[in-house]
């Protein structure tokens, strides 16, 4: 059962990408699909190093240099993990990909949607996921899962813009994106995730 397939999870901070990706990896492996699971930033050694840079506020990264660091990580992930796995015929599960840069830095971060899209096209050599699962959730719900209430208000406003950027992207490319209500219990979310993936694989 070898059929290269690239699927990604997208959505705002804490929407459940890692939780669902892990469960999907397990479910597909049980069904004997060869699976490679990657995430960003951090799937490669370069990614792990960049991750520590990207979370250090004192660096005062400009928006555009942040885009470029994410881009460097993404390219390394493609060369080191994603492309070799697709060449083997694996199903590749990614947590975030170019769409996150478009939503976070391009649209919500104001670098410009088209500018980030053009850059991503170069960085990925045109690699686009076969399927993207958008785990849609109100930031007030997802942030509540993760951090203290103080940060929720400032980050929440930004994430609300990101959330709607993702929703617009999903609406404009319905053949690639499936939007899933991620505010429900994990099992309910996962049942929709698995259904969407199996439908596309079969
Ligand atoms: N459906 C759910 N209901 C309640 N809690 C959940 C649900 N899904 C995930 N969680 C919890 O919310 C937190 C964030 O989930 P997770 O790490 O999967 O999100 P993420 O999208 O990967 O976050 P990040 O953007 O930081 O990578 C975790 O503590 C997880 O256990
Ligand atoms: Mg995660």
Is 13 annotated in a binding site? The answer is: yes
Q: How many domains does the chain have?
A: 1
Sequential DSSP letters for the chain:
----EEEEEE-STTSSHHHHHHHHHHHHHHTT--EEEEETTTSSHHHHHHHHHHT-GGG---HHHHHHHHHHHHHHHIIIIIHHHHHHTPEEEEES-HHHHIIIIIIISSS-HHHHHHHHHHHTTT---SEEEEEE--HHHHHHHHS-HHHHHHHHHHHHHHHHHHHHHHHH-TTTEEEEETTS-HHHHHHHHHHHHHHHH-
List the domain range (segments joined by +) for residue 106. 5-201
For residue 25, the domain's CATH number is 3.40.50.300
Give pLDDT tens digits along the chain (202 positions). 568 999 999 999 999 999 999 999 999 999 999 999 998 877 899 998 988 888 776 888 888 999 999 999 999 999 999 999 999 999 999 999 999 999 999 999 989 999 999 999 999 999 999 999 999 999 989 988 876 555 555 788 899 999 999 999 999 999 999 999 999 999 999 999 999 999 999 8
> Who lines ligand 1 at CB under 6 A?
13-19, 145-146, 185-186, 189
Which of 24, 43, 145, 151 has most ligand 1 atoms within 8 Å of its beta carbon, as the pocket-test mutant?
145
């Amino acid at each position: 059962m070898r059929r290269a397939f690239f699927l990604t999870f997208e959505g705002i901070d804490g929407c459940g990408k890692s939780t669902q990706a892990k469960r999907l990896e397990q479910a597909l492996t049980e069904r004997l699909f060869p699976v490679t699971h990657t995430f960003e930033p951090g799937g490669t050694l370069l990614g792990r190093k960049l991750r520590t840079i990207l979370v250090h506020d004192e660096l005062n990264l400009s928006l555009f240099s942040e885009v470029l660091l994410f881009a460097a990580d993404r390219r390394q992930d493609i060369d080191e993990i994603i492309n070799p796995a697709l060449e083997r015929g694996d199903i590749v599960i990614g947590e975030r990909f170019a769409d996150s840069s478009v939503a976070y830095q391009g649209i919500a971060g104001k670098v410009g949607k088209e500018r980030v899209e053009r850059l991503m096209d170069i960085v990925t050599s045109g690699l686009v996921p076969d399927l993207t699962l958008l785990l849609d959730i109100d930031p007030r719900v997802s942030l509540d899962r993760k951090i203290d209430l103080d940060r929720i208000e400032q980050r929440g406003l930004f994430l609300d813009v990101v959330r709607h950027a993702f929703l617009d992207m999903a609406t404009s490319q319905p053949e690639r994106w499936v939007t899933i209500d991620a505010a429900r219990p994990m099992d309910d979310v996962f049942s929709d995730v698995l259904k969407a993936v199996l439908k596309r694989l079969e």
